[in-house]
A = this chain, B = another copy of it.
Amino acid sequence: MKDLKFTEDLSRDDVTLMALSAKKKSGLTWEDIAKEVGMSPVWTHAAATGMAGMPQDKAETLVRVLDLPAEAVDVLTECPSKDWSRDIPTDPCIYRLYEIAGVYGPSFKALVHEKFGDGIMSAIDFDMEVTRVEDPKGDRVKVEMTGKFLPYKQW
């Protein structure tokens, strides 16, 4: 007979669903939650949904703010598998990010090499903000990213 004690663990997916459900019930925005946690909204959302691991104190704050079960702290502090689909998503809001990468990616590469030489912008030592910019012709979404330049080692 299978041992039930092993099937009761909270999985990373359980915690993500709990966090999204609790957030909706709480009436808080991600901006609000991020302020409580003391981090940026992009990172806070990513960490709450399994795309970043949290330090112990941040995880405890998140659990308190969203009234999650205490066991969720252990899950939130793990190093997650940051799996994303190699099939480009079709939801129009997310798809446009990939379209931008597709259309302007070669221009990005040309300018990085022009300004830094051979290497890449890190996606690990990286940060990102999303803000609303007022504009009389229609407000604009602003995305800002910075990533450390990493030169290729030559050995």
Contacts and interface: CB of A to CB of B under 8 A. Distances in A.
Interface of A: 1-3, 6-10, 14, 17-18, 21-22, 24, 29-31, 39-43, 45-46, 49, 51-55, 58, 69, 74, 79, 81-128, 130-133, 135, 137-155
A89 B113 CA distance: 17
Number of this chain's copies in the assembly equals 10
B2 A14 contact: yes
Given A30-B111, A120-B124, 7 more contacts: A43-B107, A81-B91, A81-B109, A95-B99, A98-B101, A125-B153, A138-B148
Given A84-B90, A99-B90, A42 B111 contact: yes
Nearest to A84: B102
B122 A105 contact: no
B91 A115 contact: no
10 contacts: A2-B14, A41-B107, A81-B109, A83-B89, A93-B108, A93-B109, A103-B123, A111-B130, A124-B153, A143-B144
B109 A91 contact: yes
Given A74-B24, A82-B91, A116 B145 contact: no
Nearest to A3: B69
Nearest to A44: B107
Given A86-B88, A155-B39, A155-B43, A123 B100 contact: yes
A80 to B, nearest CB: 8
